[in-house]
A = this chain, B = another copy of it.
Amino acid sequence: MSTKTIKEVAGGVCAPKGFKAAGVHCGIRKNKTKKDFALIVSEVRASAAGVYTSNLVKGAPVVVTREHLKNGYAQAIICNSGNANTCNADGMEIANAMCGLVERVSGIPSDDVIVASTGVIGQKLDIAPMEEGIDSLYASLGDNSSDANEAIMTTDLVPKTVAVEFTLGGKICRIGAIAKGIGMVCPNMATNLIFLTSDVNISPELLQKTLSDDVKGSFNMISVDGDQSTNDTCCIMCNGLAGNERLTEESEDYKTFKKALAYCTVRLSKMIAKDGEGATKLIECTVKGAKSLKMARVVAKTVIKSSLVKAAVFGSDANWGRVLCAIGYSGEAVDPQTIDVDFKSKKGVLSVCRGGFGVEFSEDFAKIVLSESEISIIIDLHLGKQKAVAWGCDLTYDYVKINGDYRT
């Protein structure tokens, strides 16, 4: 099928049938103008799946959510920003209490609740502001995806959301999503917080497999600073209200769903990379001609993660030697003598390296190409047919500023 049948729509997580969202300020953050408490609820119990940080130091909410999704079903997502509820002695207790608050106001069993927290690590998360705020949060439920989006943001400068519409067997279906990105974005799975909703009817088993596969080519392919958060969580709830025939195997309809999901996750990945802490430019690195998909992915990711490449892009400097250098230490068995490198942007394509050696280019044209806000690095390894794309951002003064004193 063509992607023409996937069209973007408004509404974020509330775009699919049967989902409501809310975001309020409850008092975890001192700044009263910043929402810090979010809720997403489905009218009916939904098939649900999640992927989580592979960091051994895990936030308590990650442990609780994982447990709650073991049976493949959920009906609500509760999330706070301002505190990650990680490395706290009472972390599990607080995460469970947050689910209990949802049960109290909505009647949704607490083990059908997905819980997430984001913010500083190692500071006690006080349940009191959430206990006080849960009623007004629940009362605010409506077509308020952007409120929920705002409430999960930390140092994000822009909200990240997408929603799409497509048809499965004649039924109109939708997927919606909100995400927060920013620093510590170098997951080996989903990144930070991404909440997806859909009215597609799909079995929990197939949904989990789809999400696990999807993140390998989307959220796993982004890097902001190479650090991996303790709280990375990507969850999806599919409530079936679109009325399509239940997806249980890899049918044609399933492929459409999978494509629509990938559309959303890749869009969010780029948004997350572009809004990396202090970033002024999105870097997209395409690696082709790889022997294996793994080789393509590892090389693309290594280039995106190189501080020297990132700083060169910030400075609009066509320092392709740093790209070669990063390819060389990726750990993959590349052949330096067969590597081609181009830089590309809206302003054109700049060929800088052929067969591992530099080619002459105009420094003036290089500045023009690299001064754009979206820069592509295109690498051909000439070893095979596999391809991968990774996304990252430049390294700037502001990254240092933001992270030099995050807690205060």
The copy count of this chain in the complex is 2
A382 to chain B, nearest CB (A): 14
**At the interface, yes or no: A87 with Cβ under 8 Å from chain B?**
yes
| CB neighbours of A405 from chain B (8 A) | 315-317
A5 to chain B, nearest CB (A): 39
**At the interface, yes or no: A322 with Cβ under 8 Å from chain B?**
yes
| CB neighbours of A239 from chain B (8 A) | none
Please, how many residues of chain A have a CB less than 8 angstroms from a CB on the other chain?
64
27 A-B pairs, CB-CB below 8 angstroms?
A55-B325, A55-B328, A55-B329, A56-B328, A57-B327, A57-B328, A57-B356, A87-B324, A89-B357, A121-B322, A122-B321, A122-B324, A226-B226, A226-B305, A226-B306, A227-B306, A227-B322, A228-B325, A229-B325, A230-B321, A311-B402, A311-B403, A315-B405, A317-B408, A319-B406, A319-B407, A397-B397
Choose among B54, B306, B406 the residue that contacts A317 (Cβ–Cβ < 8 A): B406
Q: Which residues of A contact B (CB under 8 A)?
A: 54-58, 84, 86-89, 120-124, 183-184, 225-230, 305-308, 311-312, 314-317, 319-322, 324-329, 333-334, 336, 352-353, 356-358, 395-397, 399-408
Given contacts A226-B226, A227-B306, A400-B397, contact A123 B358 (CB under 8 A): yes
A236 to chain B, nearest CB (A): 24
Given contacts A87-B324, A225-B307, 13 further A-B contacts (CB under 8 A): A55-B325, A55-B328, A56-B327, A56-B328, A57-B329, A57-B356, A87-B336, A184-B325, A227-B326, A228-B328, A311-B402, A312-B404, A314-B404
